[in-house]
A and B are shown apart, each in its own frame.
Chain A
Amino acid sequence: MSEHVTEIIIFTVLFLTVSVMGFVAARWRRPENLDSLNEWGLGGRNFGSWITWFLVGGDLYTAYTFVAVPALVFGAGAMGFFAVPYTVIVYPIVFLVLLRLWSVSHVHGFVTPADFVRARFGSPTLALLIAITGIVATMPYIALQLVGIEAVLKSMGITGTGFFSQLPIIIAFAILAAYTYQSGLRAPALIAFVKDTLIYIVILVAIVYIPTRLGGWDSIFDKAQQKFTDSAAKGDGILLNAGNQLQYVTLALGSALALFLYPHSITGVLASRNRNVIKRNMSALPAYSLLLGLIAILGYMAIAAGTTPIGKDNNTIVPRLFDQMFPDWFTGVAYAAIAIGALVPAAIMSIAAANLFTRNIYREYLKPDATDAEEARVSKLVSLAVKIGAVLCIIFLDLQFAIDLQLIGGVVILQTLPSVAIGLYTRWFHRGGLVAGWVAGMAAGVMMLYTIPNPVSGKAHFGGSAFSLGNLGFDTTTTVYAGLLALIVNLVVAAVATVICRRAGVAEGTDTTRPDHYLADEGDPRVKDLELDGTTAPSPTEAPPAPTTTAT
């Protein structure tokens, strides 16, 4: 541990600095009070282009991504690069969809995707399913952010045994929980500036400096290819092979469709000020994809540099590479960047999960007449509970369990696509059909994941998301992303059940949205629907308070 003193000091100073920022954030762009989900949970729905860019960028490109993607490239090669096409196609896919979601949420004051489903299909049951799916998919994702922190702590030699080995993570999450409780979404928004600036600096230095130490890019890729040629494993290499191309494509597509269904992504989008902020960010956010692509290649640099992970934990490969290549003080900066990078998404995810509980479970089923202030108080407490749950999950359960759950999470969140994304365009699906499709998609997805073994780690189940078409009777070794297959099952069942429901004359439920609500922008009148927001009931034509600054 002694050789890491400089790193630990720099790391601790930066970590404490952002913690102070987290608490100060409550005063930043200060509202009259923070006692509503609009303010605590969505930062007043008033973030401009720059804040949104840092916030959503910090939200989507998590510390886990920055650690796990190069680890995957280090271990398997080209397959790990799927993160690049994934994050290229996601923005054009969601460009028009998110605008409609923002507008209808602006008009109706929706805080969560389940709020929208509730109003669109008039079905509290469907909304409950969407809310539970969101919470279940988000929880392991929060726990995984701890993996980023843990990889860094391990690399600094902070290991210890028993309870004390977990103490640094418990302290880090306790600080995080405290300032999220106090400042809400403003805390990650402010910290994201520091986090992203640090990460951009570290990565730019890494891709300019490290190749000069390793004999240039040609040599890095050649050494990587050599390693994969020598290894016994099938399917690795710096290029794709016949068996995994379809997996590469379907994984990129499925992940892209899933990304903006996650509650934390939607929270970031709904916090923006107007439609133009979202449009501008759809062109500006790919800057992070470039960063992610370069980070992925760090996996090859680690191969070329002969870096070895700590134990069998490939997630330590990037921290170990930094330790090997950089002077101590800069390694400290890099480690702080990764650890702080875990705090931003963890905060937003816990806020999003708490909002889902408050709006779609607490308010819907437990206390329908809750005031704005009560909603905010419940959300704050739930955000604490969610983080305690994540820490307990890491301490008492195997970390692998969180990774498995996150894998399942991506597949299950995709099952909300028919209700949320397609629901933004058409109400053709019957609410009964959507429930049936959800059940079928969930069952199919989890069953497929269960059958997937992982020969490398020797696991028999939940070993990955590559479902072999051979299981369906095809004579092939081709694999496909299980989430996409489950979504197809979901859509087919939803369509069939919709037709059956209509024939049987099952009640449709009331749609409280109107076509023009999907096109509304900042300054347009809002409906304060009595049922969804019963505390203040101004006339439906009341204009929102004039924005303090105009859109640029």
Chain B
Amino acid sequence: MSAPNTDRPPTARSDHSPWNWLLVLPIIIPLLPFLFNSDEPRLFGFPLFYWLQLAFIAIGVTCTTIVYRVSRRNGR
């Protein structure tokens, strides 16, 4: 979703940034069952289905953190 640009705010502020596209990754990846719907390989006894989906949490954290850091640097 992106805002229509017809009426730009009078200030220089914007919540647009190419970095925001990074947020798409952790939305799409966890919704692709063929990536994780398997027992093997197991990790510490966890089937792939469980450890990989738990690992997706790290992707989510990484992407949101990067977007946050970039937005702070740009003063948005």
CB pair B37–A245 under 8 Å, yes or no, is yes
Given contacts A96-B15, A238-B39, A422-B1, contact A88 B57 (CB under 8 A): yes
CB pair B46–A217 under 8 Å, yes or no, is yes
Q: Mark B3-34, 1 if CB is under 8 A from A, else 0.
A: 11001111101110000100111110011010
CB pair A282–B64 under 8 Å, yes or no, is yes
Contact partners of B47 in chain A: CB under 8 A: 221, 238-239
Contact partners of B23 in chain A: CB under 8 A: 92-93, 95-96
* A252 contacts the other chain (CB 8 A): yes
CB pair A293–B54 under 8 Å, yes or no, is yes
CB pair A252–B10 under 8 Å, yes or no, is no
A289 to B57, CA, bound (A): 7
> Chain B's nearest CB lies how many Å from the CB of A454?
23
A290 to B55, CA, bound (A): 9
* A84 contacts the other chain (CB 8 A): yes
Chain A interface, >50% SS class = helix
CB pair A81–B64 under 8 Å, yes or no, is no
Given contacts A85-B31, A239-B37, A252-B31, contact A220 B57 (CB under 8 A): no
Q: Mark A204-221, 1 if CB is under 8 A from B, else 0.
A: 000000010000111111
A97 to B11, CA, bound (A): 20
Within 8 A of B (CB), among A235-262: 238-240, 245, 248-249, 252-253
CB pair A95–B15 under 8 Å, yes or no, is no
Q: For this complex, into which size category does the number of interface residues on chain A fall?
A: 35 or more
* B74 contacts the other chain (CB 8 A): no
A99 to B70, CA, bound (A): 15
CB pair A95–B64 under 8 Å, yes or no, is yes
Given contacts A88-B26, A95-B23, contact A239 B38 (CB under 8 A): yes
Contact partners of B38 in chain A: CB under 8 A: 239
A535 to B33, CA, bound (A): 54
CB pair B57–A92 under 8 Å, yes or no, is no
A166 to B59, CA, bound (A): 45
> Chain A's nearest CB lies how many Å from the CB of B8?
7
Contact partners of B56 in chain A: CB under 8 A: 84-85, 88
A240 to B37, CA, bound (A): 6
A249 to B30, CA, bound (A): 8
> Chain A's nearest CB lies how many Å from the CB of B27?
5
Contact partners of B8 in chain A: CB under 8 A: 515
Contact of A91 among B37, B44, B49, B60 (CB under 8 A): B60
Contact partners of A239 in chain B: CB under 8 A: 37-39, 47, 49
> Chain B's nearest CB lies how many Å from the CB of A385?
37
Contact partners of A97 in chain B: CB under 8 A: 1
CB pair B31–A253 under 8 Å, yes or no, is yes
* A429 contacts the other chain (CB 8 A): no
CB pair B27–A93 under 8 Å, yes or no, is yes
> Chain A's nearest CB lies how many Å from the CB of B71?
7
A290 to B33, CA, bound (A): 19
**Most chain B beta-carbon contacts within 10 A, residue among A89, A252, A289, A297:** A89
Beyond A100-B15, A515-B7, 13 additional pairs, beta carbon < 8 A: A85-B31, A89-B26, A89-B60, A92-B24, A95-B23, A221-B46, A239-B37, A245-B37, A252-B31, A276-B68, A283-B64, A286-B57, A289-B57
Q: List A residues at the B interface (Cβ < 8 Å).
A: 78, 81, 84-85, 88-89, 91-93, 95-97, 99-100, 211, 216-221, 238-240, 245, 248-249, 252-253, 276, 279-280, 282-283, 286, 289-290, 293, 297, 422, 425-426, 428, 514-516, 518-519
Listed A/B pairs (18) with beta-carbon separation below 8 Å: A88-B26, A88-B56, A92-B26, A92-B27, A95-B23, A97-B1, A217-B45, A238-B47, A240-B49, A245-B33, A279-B72, A282-B64, A282-B68, A297-B50, A422-B1, A514-B9, A515-B9, A518-B15
